[in-house]
Amino acid sequence: MSGYGFVRSELEIKTLTLHVLEYVKIPVTFDELMSCVFVDDAINYFKFADYLDGMVKTGHVTINSDTGIDRYLISDKGLRDIQHIRTSVPGSVLRKAEKATDKVRDEIIRKTLVNVEIIEESDKFRATGSLSGDMGEIFSFSISAPTKDEAKRFTSNFYKNAERIYNDFLRAMLDTTN
């Protein structure tokens, strides 16, 4: 698809990448960063990967590997330089990237708030899950399951619907019509 879009040059791709890293404010994986930056059809994967590697080498971007997964952050040098080069990318592309970044940030934050686990105990399975908020854990459950597949179904459904399950549970617990 190269050829359509506004972001073509090395400077433009690097600028958009730094803008996204500044905007997201939290460490992101390569794939997460890529999904935020690839909002313009002219961006090429191989150039993006090469330019990101170059920005790491020049100190504009740092890599945090504390969790065993590389996560990218904008450095102080990158923060300083983005202020001078941001205008090399059209504002409409920057806003589109910010919108994509909002989605990614929300997904990252949600992953830290919803936890699930399957515990195997002598051929029996227990599915556990928890939902956290600003003040710590707000809801948790533990339920026995006869098979590992059923335990997976419990944890998968909780992960996808944690907020709804929590709200339904609260509604049932606070119901005074019983």
- Does some domain include residue 55? yes
Pairing of strands 71-74, 114-121: unpaired
Does pTM surpass 0.85? no
Whose tokens are 């939902």? That residue is 131
Q: Are 104 and 145 contained in the same domain?
A: no
Range of the domain at 148: 122-174
Q: Are 24 and 103 contained in the same domain?
A: yes
- Does some domain include residue 3? no
pLDDT digits (tens, 9 = 90+) for 83-116: 999 999 999 999 999 999 999 999 898 888 999 9
Residue 22, class by beta-carbon neighbours within 10 Å (0-12 exposed, 13-18 middle, 19+ buried)? middle
Closest to 58 measured CA to CA, from 46, 71, 76? 76
What total of structural domains would you count in the chain? 2
Q: Are 128 and 107 contained in the same domain?
A: no
Closest to 119 measured CA to CA, from 84, 102, 143, 88? 143
The tokens describing 143, both together, are: 């339920």
pLDDT digits (tens, 9 = 90+) for 133-178: 888 999 999 999 999 999 999 999 999 999 999 999 999 999 988 6
